[in-house]
A and B are shown apart, each in its own frame.
Chain A
Amino acid sequence: MTESDDQTYVEWIAREARRPVVMGPAARTRIMDAVRAEPAPRRRFWHRLIEPRLISASPIASLALAAGLVGIGVFGGTFVNNRDGLTSTGLPQAVPALPIARVPVSDTVKVMTFRFIAPQAAKVSLVGDFNGWSVDETPMTRVDNGGVWSVTVPLSVGRHLYSFVVDSQDWIADPRAPVAPDDGFGHANSVVLVSRGSSS
């Protein structure tokens, strides 16, 4: 037997396996029927937040919302534990971790800080269902030139899945948080529960 025979056999298998297969004629229809029975997928969380919309509110509610915006801005700043979050006097100032941090504030949105230890990483970002799993939308900041990375984000009350992405390629679940079952996308994710009571 020759090497050529071997390779010919493998190539023959591959060639035959590349032929199209014929499925049941109604298979695609069944897929679309199932799709139409599902709720329509919504645009990503960030997109929904920044989409222009009309909001009507009473004068009292408007004042309360304005006060809440200022309060959350200052409150959120206290959780930003890095050099950029401190004034020259060392006091915390209201520096939103993300530009959007000042926008979506209500009793259903809380400010949360995520930290991750990765001394060798050149870049770490936070991804989750709250930012469309975008590797670029929520970069983390190295704290005090150490191995701790941190970012503060606003999250809606409820259950969220998230992961950390190291150097734009390695998806790593938070070792200090519960891990969600495999979501079918090939990565393990962590779970954070955001309650109305407190930020962390």
Chain B
Amino acid sequence: MSDDAADVQRVLGGDVDAYAALVDRYYDRCARFAVRMLGNRDDAEDALQATFLRAYKALNRYQERDRFSAWLYRILVNQCRSLAARRAHRERVFVREEALLLNAPDRAVGWTGEDEEFVQRVLAELEPLLREAFLLKYIEELSYEEMSALTGVGVSALKMRVKRACDRLRERWERIKDD
């Protein structure tokens, strides 16, 4: 039995503290995806809170033969989608970090301390579904089959999204070079 499965069984057996081990094990990875996907830490923290809470409440639906990480990630992806949709509905853009981003260097070389803000800005320019596919492929380094199981989207559609995301990034590179 894996560490994850053992911890899940402990939680289902009434040991709530065992859930802290699962949170610790996956928090950093989930946080990275949520921040890259949502563009700021406040929304990411909301998504993480909702994800871990939802997973806890639904823990008896987790099947041991599945990877806990994949199951948790599926919840996280859906939470990020929901949160992004609600945010779009409120027409709230990344106001908090806009001032930082406006001053971020828009150069192809020599990025230093502002690299993260710059990368965040570039990712935010991608359409959400393209950004999601790009992050799962290049940042989480999942296979297309894993991505398909996680998102419910077909492999060929995911390949197309990743390609389009890369195309968008390359187009941006062209604009930078032209400038």
**Interface extent on B, as a size class?**
35 or more
Determine the chain A residues whose CB is within 8 A of the CB of B52 once the complex forms.
31, 35
**Interface extent on A, as a size class?**
35 or more
- Specify which of A20, A36, A132 is in contact with B63 (CB 8 Å cutoff): A132
Quick one: CB contact mask for B111-136 with A, threshold 8 Å, 1 for yes?
Answer: 00001101100110000000000110
Whether the Cβ atoms of B116 and A187 lie closer than 8 Å is no
- Specify which of A9, A17, A28, A132 is in contact with B108 (CB 8 Å cutoff): A9
| B window 104-163: CB within 8 A of A | 108, 115-116, 118-119, 122-123, 134-135, 138-139, 151-152
Whether the Cβ atoms of A186 and B151 lie closer than 8 Å is yes
| A window 5-55: CB within 8 A of B | 5-6, 9-10, 13-14, 16-21, 23-24, 27-28, 30-32, 34-36, 38, 40-44
In angstroms, Cα B116 to Cα A32, docked, is 29
Determine the chain B residues whose CB is within 8 A of the CB of A18 once the complex forms.
32, 138-139
| B window 1-26: CB within 8 A of A | 11-12, 14, 16, 19-20, 23-24
Determine the chain A residues whose CB is within 8 A of the CB of B79 once the complex forms.
184
- Specify which of B16, B44, B45, B170 is in contact with A35 (CB 8 Å cutoff): B16
Determine the chain A residues whose CB is within 8 A of the CB of B135 once the complex forms.
17
Whether the Cβ atoms of A38 and B138 lie closer than 8 Å is no
Please tell me if A122 contacts chain B, counting CB pairs below 8 Å. no
Please tell me if B164 contacts chain A, counting CB pairs below 8 Å. no
Q: A1-B174, A185-B78, A186-B78 are in contact. Are A34 and B53 (CB under 8 A)?
A: yes
Please tell me if A133 contacts chain B, counting CB pairs below 8 Å. yes
- Specify which of B61, B134, B177 is in contact with A1 (CB 8 Å cutoff): B177
Determine the chain A residues whose CB is within 8 A of the CB of B23 once the complex forms.
28, 31-32
Whether the Cβ atoms of B61 and A184 lie closer than 8 Å is no
Whether the Cβ atoms of A13 and B49 lie closer than 8 Å is no
In angstroms, Cα B12 to Cα A132, docked, is 13
Whether the Cβ atoms of B49 and A41 lie closer than 8 Å is no
Residue of B nearest to A9 (CB): B173
Please tell me if A84 contacts chain B, counting CB pairs below 8 Å. no
Q: A10-B170, A40-B16, A184-B79 are in contact. Are A30 and B152 (CB under 8 A)?
A: no
| Cβ contacts A to B, 8 pairs, < 8 Å | A13-B122, A17-B135, A18-B139, A23-B48, A27-B31, A41-B60, A43-B12, A185-B58
Q: Which 8 A-B pairs have the closest CB atoms?
A: A14-B138, A41-B59, A9-B173, A16-B119, A6-B170, A21-B35, A186-B152, A184-B78
